[in-house]
Amino acid sequence: MNNDNPARNTKVMNRFDLTSRLIAKLKNEEAVIGGIGNTNFDLWAAGHRPQNFYMLGSMGLAFPIALGVALAQPDRRVFALEGDGSLLMQLGSLSTIATLAPKNLIMVVMDNGIYQITGAQPTPGAAVADIVAIAVASGLTNSSWAADEDDFERLIEESMSATGPTLIGVRIDEKPGTGTTRRDPVQIRERFMHGMGVREPL
């Protein structure tokens, strides 16, 4: 990623630290969808909650999955954590979300400009693309870069009462995820459905 880009006057932060700050602010059983790889590893490491959903594949679908949850439960806030490489696979979903405009959907893009988990290769957009500008141009007008950790927390607080979908871009470092999600897809899905109040435990 081009950290010298003057258009991005934003601090380089850390994925696990930001994820932990987000989780600490959740008081109303908000849903959190963690994208493939490091994004959901750090969500897992930040402390498991039944309202967390961890993806084990289907790269790029964190925002669409979160959109589905948000449409099904309009009274619950739904957060989605996605990497910049993943989002580049599914940029069209930003327009879908902008059109449907669910106010309870908050998207966080963890942007380090690399495919960290496959060997830190740069993404095709690393040196040239601005994810937040892409989001705005896709119709998500309430999109912004978080300047630092305090600004990230402020944007999360604002999103709790937003009247439309929120997208928050954060520049992050090149560190790998902190934990490793237990890869049991049926249990992940079933516990998430308990967390969403859709099902009772067996």
Q: Which residues are at the interface with another protein (CB under 8 A)?
A: 31, 33, 53, 55-61, 63-73, 76, 90-93, 95-96, 99-100, 185-186, 188-189, 192-193, 196-198
Q: Which is nearer to another protein, 20 or 96 (CB)?
A: 96
Question: Nearest approach, Cβ of 92 to another protein (angstroms)?
Answer: 2
Question: Nearest approach, Cβ of 182 to another protein (angstroms)?
Answer: 14
Q: Which is nearer to another protein, 154 or 199 (CB)?
A: 199
Question: Nearest approach, Cβ of 154 to another protein (angstroms)?
Answer: 27
Q: Which is nearer to another protein, 62 or 132 (CB)?
A: 62
Q: Are 178 and 41 in contact (CB under 8 A)?
A: yes
What's 7's DSSP letter?
A: T
> In sequence order, which residues have a C-beta less than 8 Å from that of residue 160 and are 6 or more positions away?
77
> In sequence order, which residues have a C-beta less than 8 Å from that of residue 139 and are 6 or more positions away?
94, 95, 98, 99
Q: Which is nearer to another protein, 43 or 61 (CB)?
A: 61
> What is the Cα–Cα distance from 145 to 161, expressed in whole angstroms?
18
Question: Nearest approach, Cβ of 99 to another protein (angstroms)?
Answer: 7
Q: Which is nearer to another protein, 60 or 113 (CB)?
A: 60
Distance of CA 196 to the CA centre of its chain: 18
What's 123's DSSP letter?
A: P
Q: How much of the chain is helix, strand and coil, in % rounded to 5? A: 35, 15, 45
Question: Nearest approach, Cβ of 194 to another protein (angstroms)?
Answer: 10
